[in-house]
Amino acid sequence: MALGPHVTLRRTTQPRFIPLHPNLVHFSELLSKLEHVPARVDEIRRNRHSFLIYHAPSHSDLQALFGVLYAKLSGKHQRDLCLSLIERTEDRDVLVAYIHKTDKAVLVNAGIGLNLSDDVWVNRAMKLSTTPADCKADVVATMTALCKCSKSSMTTMLYDEHDKYVTLEYVDEATRELSDDQLRSLEFIIQQASSKNMTGFSLAFHRGKVQLKERRAARQSVEDNIHLITKKNAALHLQAMSEFRPEWSALPMEVFDRSLVGGHQGPLTIGDFFADKRLYSQTSLLIGGTSRYGKTELLKAQFFLLSLRLRGKDPVLGFVQTVDKLKVVQDHLSRGSCLLLDDIDPSDREQLIHSSHGIWKSLLAVASPADVRGRNSDASIASGVPRGITTNLESADEWISSITVKEVDQLAIRSRLCFVNVRERLWVRDEPPANSARILQPVMTSTDAEAAMEAMLMR
């Protein structure tokens, strides 16, 4: 009895039975069991739903064994078997040759490379009826960009098993770095396939494309209104650190919870806050002083840099001037993002409808999720979001007393704060720098504008 051209069956005195149900065959598990038998192949034999294995197979016999397993399965289980091969890179060449000869479609769906050109591979993986070259010139570029910005490879996003965790949130995250033109190209690509053949990422994209565009539009609106600063709009809203005096990092800082500063010698500075993860992970930075000294711009730049350090290539800084606006940015703030509350005066009851010591204790505790009652609706800020606050008040006690007069609550709030008072300008120059990106550039002269207005009124 022979299972393949290179398989020779021999009898041995100590057979080993490894029962494997045909619907539960997993190749990597089978190989791990083969490691417990002698080194050379003597016999591989199928006995109903069991395999009689005496010795570990060579590459040629491995191919024959795979042929037995593959022939016994069908549909989804064939694909599962192929996917498990990815873990065994040393055996891939032998098995790819077998699958390539047997069923190219299963090989593509399993994500095992055929060394095809990009356009042919995309064509097969996406099950297109036309080639990418016939669709659009930038199809391959779009797919490549999608692979780079996604957490998964394109083949991972396309096979069936991915369906169970492909959600609108995943699709949004995977396509976030694509431009609007690239997103339209991706939509065009996916529309070439029948919806009946769509699986995984392509199916989730097809079903949620309307909601996806709405989410992107909402995020763009938040970015345009300065409530969310990302690498996309950073040049418009941030000042370079070269615009600030070098001694900014030496500004004295009060840390009210001294248990967080073990190991520090001498007075603490604002530079220590951004350098010591114990401080920015457990306390909020309150910076006070006269307006127009550069407090807000310094914190925007430093917290954006901190988010860059914590998140890598995807920094996010939420920027709000009322607690109510937290509900605008809450969905965009995750662990490693940063939050800046600018010019917040807790005693302003018109601005903070539900301002209370409980809200501020929750909001200032970086290590825990914060639930904040805002106007008309609540807001929730994730844990692990370092945050800063600016104010015109010049002492932490004055700021805290505007929240509550109860000593026990004041102590709880104080332990969550680091305080810096700015007494002089932080800018290198005497005047704040004018960011050219912020300057409104006229597109008409005054004379032309007056003429255009006159023409409008004459209608």
Q: With a cut of 70, say whether residue 440 has pLDDT above it.
A: no
Q: How many CA atoms lie less than 13 Å away from 244 in the CB half-sphere?
A: 22
Residue at which a domain ends, from 58, 88, 110: 110
Q: Do 78 and 48 form a contact (C-beta atoms < 8 A)? A: no
pLDDT in the model for residue 55: 34
163-221 confidence digits (pLDDT tens): 555 677 777 777 777 777 777 777 776 776 677 767 666 777 888 888 888 888 777 76
80-89 confidence digits (pLDDT tens): 554 444 344 3
* Residue 289 amino acid letter: G
CA 459 to chain centre: 53
Query: Do 257 and 401 belong to one domain?
Result: yes
Query: Do 258 and 220 belong to one domain?
Result: no
Q: With a cut of 80, say whether residue 442 has pLDDT above it.
A: no
Q: Is residue 167 part of a domain?
A: yes
Query: Do 177 and 323 belong to one domain?
Result: no
pLDDT in the model for residue 273: 94
| Exposed e or buried b per residue across 219-233, where buried means at least 16 C-beta atoms within 10 angstroms of its C-beta | beebbeeebbbbeee
3-state secondary structure of 118: helix
User: With the CA atoms of 95, 99, 104 and 105 taken in that order, what torsion angle do they form, in degrees rounded to the nearest 10?
Assistant: -100
| CATH classification of the domain holding 413 | 3.40.50
Task: Please state the rounded mean pLDDT for residues 296-313.
Answer: 90
* Residue 139 amino acid letter: V
Task: Give the number of other CB atoms < 10 A from CB of residue 275.
Answer: 12
pLDDT in the model for residue 129: 46
Q: Is residue 8 part of a domain?
A: no
Q: Is residue 241 part of a domain?
A: yes
Query: Do 386 and 242 belong to one domain?
Result: yes
Task: Please state the rounded mean pLDDT for residues 106-124.
Answer: 43
pLDDT in the model for residue 386: 94
Q: Is residue 361 part of a domain?
A: yes
Query: Do 220 and 291 belong to one domain?
Result: no
Q: Is residue 446 part of a domain?
A: no
CA 251 to chain centre: 34
The encoded tokens of residue 364 equal 């200032």
* Boundaries of domain holding 196: 118-224
pLDDT in the model for residue 456: 81
For residues 372 and 192, what is the distance between their CA atoms, to the nearest angstrom? 46
pLDDT in the model for residue 354: 56
Q: Is residue 125 part of a domain?
A: yes
Query: Do 150 and 250 belong to one domain?
Result: no
Query: Do 94 and 131 belong to one domain?
Result: no
pLDDT in the model for residue 362: 87
The length of the chain is: 459
Query: What end-to-end distance do the CA atoms of the chain give, in Å?
Result: 97
Q: With a cut of 90, say whether residue 346 has pLDDT above it.
A: no
Task: Please state the rounded mean pLDDT for residues 340-350.
Answer: 76
- Among 226-240, 306-320, 327-341, the least confident range: 226-240
Q: Is residue 347 part of a domain?
A: yes
Query: Do 219 and 251 belong to one domain?
Result: no
Query: Do 183 and 263 belong to one domain?
Result: no
Q: How would you class 413 by CB atoms within 10 Å of its CB: exposed for 0-12, middle for 13-18, buried for 19 or more?
A: buried
pLDDT in the model for residue 327: 81
144-176 confidence digits (pLDDT tens): 555 555 444 444 444 444 555 567 777 777 777
Q: Do 328 and 377 form a contact (C-beta atoms < 8 A)? A: no
Percent of the chain predicted with pLDDT > 90: 16
Give the closest residue to 234 by CA, choosing from 305, 337, 293, 174.
305
Query: Do 123 and 99 belong to one domain?
Result: no
Query: Do 64 and 170 belong to one domain?
Result: no
pLDDT in the model for residue 222: 65
Per-residue pLDDT band for 394 (boundaries 50, 70, 90) equals confident
Q: Is residue 445 part of a domain?
A: no
170's CB contacts (< 8 A; 6+ apart) are 201, 204
Domain total in the chain: 3
Task: Give the number of other CB atoms < 10 A from CB of residue 2.
Answer: 10
